Amino acid sequence: MSENVLRLSGITKAYNRGAPNEVNVLRGIDLDVGTGEVVALVAPSGAGKSTLLHIAGLLDTPDAGKVEITGQDMTGRGDRKRTRVRRSDVGFIYQFHHLLPEFSALENIVLPQLANGVSKAAAEARAQELLDRVGIADRADHRPAALSGGEQQRVAFCRALANGPKLLLADEPTGNLDPGTSDQVFAALMDLVRGTGLSAVIATHNLDLAARMDRQIRLDAGQLVAD
Ligand SMILES: Nc1ncnc2c1ncn2[C@@H]1O[C@H](COP(=O)(O)OP(=O)(O)OP(=O)(O)O)[C@@H](O)[C@H]1O
């Protein structure tokens, strides 16, 4: 098995192919992310970072090229296999928390585990432990509306890690927060990622945050350039 948790080779993606408004978003992307490596993806708005993260996380398929997750080549694999690998190996974080409003913080972290076959008691214990690690154990019973923006994102981080993924993909995880909060919440995310030895690709416009990761790559004209 490859030691790369994520390997992208020759990924291309166009929207509206063949039409006058064709957009060639990705033009040959090669990227290796090793075990425990945290990579900053820096890109101007519209450069295609969401497209790239969705392809890497098996939510979308490339026009050409190969996606390997934990050494498994996903090319041509059916939806069931892709969903299984995505659920067990990949965690997603977005700019907005997307928590279920009618459930508590704890329940939001428990539910994906139940969907993955974990017992209720084990899922609750893991959820409580994750909340503790991001410093909001005392907010477990609060619904999202009763949490601050920073707390909501911390819960979203816990939910993304609930099933013990190998790869975390984050799209502007603190982009919706004011600068002071963003800094603290980002530090909590990095502690969580480092503490679990997880590999991550974290998209950010913030160069200070990017500098705290192991490596920075820039998406420019559909290709990746090392910074
Ligand atoms: N379904 C689609 N159909 C047509 N064009 C699309 C589609 N999705 C994205 N695009 C175009 O592809 C380009 C890349 O989009 P993408 O969302 O990946 O960019 P992004 O870098 O994540 O941008 P942002 O930072 O603003 O979210 C943009 O020009 C966008 O308008």
Atom 10 of ligand 1, nearest CA residue: 15
63: exposed, middle or buried (C-beta count within 10 Å: 0-12, 13-18, 19+)? middle
Q: How far is the CA of 47 from the centre of ligand 1 (A)?
A: 7
Are residues 66 and 10 in contact, defined by beta-carbon separation less than 8 angstroms? yes
Of 2-6, 34-38, 186-190, the range with the lowest mean pLDDT is: 2-6
Q: What is the pLDDT of residue 143?
A: 98
Domains of the chain with CATH codes: 4-226 (3.40.50.300)
Atom 29 of ligand 1, nearest CA residue: 46
Residue 194, CA distances (Å) to 69, 96, 115, 181 in order: 20, 22, 26, 20
Question: Which token pair is 185?
Answer: 């919440």
Q: How far is the CA of 30 from the centre of ligand 1 (A)?
A: 19
Q: How far is the CA of 48 from the centre of ligand 1 (A)?
A: 5
pLDDT in tens, 117-172: 999 999 999 999 999 999 999 999 999 999 999 999 999 999 999 999 999 999 99
Alpha helices in 3-119 (DSSP H): 49-56, 79-89, 105-115
- The mean pLDDT of 58-81, rounded to a whole number, is 94
Q: How far, in Å, CA of 57 to CA of 155, rounded?
A: 20
Q: How far is the CA of 133 from the centre of ligand 1 (A)?
A: 34
Ligand 1 shell residues, CB under 6 Å: 15-16, 23, 25, 43, 45-51
Q: What is the pLDDT of residue 2?
A: 44
* pLDDT, averaged across the chain: 94
Residue 53, SS3 per DSSP: helix
- The mean pLDDT of 190-207, rounded to a whole number, is 94
* The residue type at 82: R
Q: How far, in Å, CA of 201 to CA of 212, rounded?
A: 13
Upper half-sphere CA count for residue 188 (Cβ side, 13 Å):
24
- The mean pLDDT of 7-32, rounded to a whole number, is 95
Residue 5, SS3 per DSSP: strand
Better-predicted residue by pLDDT, 116 or 99: 99
Q: Assign 45 a pLDDT band (cuts: 50, 70, 90).
A: confident
Question: Which token pair is 98?
Answer: 């997307």
Q: Which of 221, 203, 173 is nearest to 40 (CA)?
A: 203
Percentage of the chain exceeding pLDDT 90: 90
- The mean pLDDT of 61-70, rounded to a whole number, is 96
- What pTM value is reported for the model? 0.94
Kindly tell me if the per-residue pLDDT of 96 is higher than 70. yes
Are residues 116 and 194 in contact, defined by beta-carbon separation less than 8 angstroms? no
Neighbours of 118 (CB within 10 A): 18
Q: What is the pLDDT of residue 180?
A: 87
Instruction: Please report where in the chains the tokens 């017992």 appear, as a residue.
Output: 119
Q: What is the pLDDT of residue 132?
A: 96
Atom 16 of ligand 1, nearest CA residue: 48
Q: How far is the CA of 46 from the centre of ligand 1 (A)?
A: 5
- The mean pLDDT of 58-80, rounded to a whole number, is 94
Task: ipTM value, please give it.
Answer: 0.94
Atom 30 of ligand 1, nearest CA residue: 46
Contacts of 65 (CB under 8 A, 6+ apart): 8, 9, 10, 11, 12, 28, 29
Kindly tell me if the per-residue pLDDT of 1 is higher than 50. no
